[in-house]
Amino acid sequence: MITFNLHFNTTESSKQDKHDSHFIQEKDSVFHKILEEKESHKSGYYDLPYDTKALQDCSTYMQDNAEILKDLTHIIIIGIGGSSLGLKAIDTMLYHLPHRNDIALKFLEHTDPIKIQKSLKRIRIQTSLFIVISKSGMTIETTSLMKYCLWRYNLLEPNLKKRLLIITDKSSILESWANENHIKTITINKNIGGRFSVLSAVGVVPLKILGYKVEEILDGAKILQDSFLARKEEHILEKAIFMANNHNTLPINILFSYSSSFRDFNLWYVQLWGESLGKINEKGKKVGLTPISLIGSIDQHSFLQLIIEGKNDKTITFLGINHNNYHEIVIPDIKMKGLESTDFVNDIPFAKLLSAQEKATMRVLDEDNLPVDSIQIDSLNEHNIGALIMYYELLTSAVGCIFEINTYDQPAVERGKKILSQMLR
């Protein structure tokens, strides 16, 4: 279960009256725009929780390659951005689950040669699976890293081709290359953007091989979306309207997550939020919201001072776990001379301390009338993580509708790719 607490305690000029007729009309307008996007298939992510293709493709692949998978020690993901961040986020949040297989998940997503060597250290081709994830197959980082692995591990040798799997757009150039070289390929629909693709085969296939209950991830996403479409998750629309309408005075959005398990989820959020919403809108105006990811309690000692006494230009979302389920590790009752002032935490579980630190920080910000809301998860399991993914995707789409932008393209990124190509030719 996930609890969403939307309570923006801020200035009178920024507050929203939920019963105001204009605000109700604005919510209805945003909701119907999202419905239009879904029904027109502008983005395929809306359909993923209901689509069985990825599960079927994964099941077939695992049956056909049972011999390869039974002794697997490493999965190496070759991909960048949306092709890796969502998968990494889910694995980091669920890694503690007992049914996760004992397989190391590595990511080749950086062209830094030092990082490449470190990531491939101790990789034995006889017990490894390389999964190349690229929608077009033309992403220069991904193709360059793929070429290096093809060369280093002789992956095009007939007896090694089964150590390579391609996940790409249907009818992409990469699929054509894979077919010509008799390499197994699983495809996704072209209208599924990379940063919205984690619930497609991009995430489903590696997560299933790792042993996760992927069906429950999809079910969690489906239930949240169904509830939203039934107008039972109005907080998503209300939060989107608040953030979009106040983007000039509150342009920075902080996700303050109180568990190290959320570190990679925060990075996924940064890409989703930044790349989707930083656009030139239909009126030719530049719009956007700047995402910042923080981890509590660590960043209470690095960023909290700025939030509290710096410029009031930020909204803060707290993401936490119900730590009642994680009380095994306790602070020992050890008294140390001169450090008596710290004894008030003795005999307290670390989980309780972390939860109290989150609540104390929220209270301070609330007392200073900063715009704060919270998401609390009762347990890190597949169902809840699926719902959390869908929540942020829907919220992003809602803000995009208000901004009057194409939430699903990235024209500025494409400009950078063209310049790189010209520089290195």
| Residues classed as catalytic | 275, 301, 417
Burial string for 236-251 (b: 16+ CB within 10 Å, else e) reads bbbbbbbbbebbeebe
Cβ-contact 23, 31 below 8 angstroms = no
Distance separating alpha carbons of residues 276 and 290, to the nearest angstrom: 11
Please, which residues have CB within 8 angstroms of residue 420's CB and are 6 or more apart in sequence? 140
Residue 132 exposed, middle or buried by CB count within 10 Å (0-12, 13-18, 19+): buried
Query: Are the CB atoms for 128 and 163 separated by under 8 Å?
Result: yes
**61-66: long-range contacts, CB 8 A cutoff, minimum separation 24:** 61/165, 61/184, 61/186, 61/205, 62/208, 62/209, 64/184, 65/162, 65/184
Instruction: Find where tokens 């249907």 sit.
Output: 170
Q: Which residue has the tokens 């998968």?
A: 87
Classified as helix, coil or strand, 293 is strand
Which pair of tokens denotes residue 176? 């054509």
Q: How many residues make up the chain in this entry?
A: 425
Tokens of 200: 């497609």
Distances (CA, A) of 271 to 163, 176, 196: 30, 29, 10
211/382 Cα distance (integer angstroms):
11
Beta strands in 160-251 (DSSP E): 164-169, 185-188
Strand partners, 131: 77, 165
Angle, alpha carbons 49-240-216 (nearest 5°): 20
d(CA 413, CA 257): 28
Cβ–Cβ under 8 Å, residues 3 and 366: no
CA–centroid distance for 34 within its chain: 20
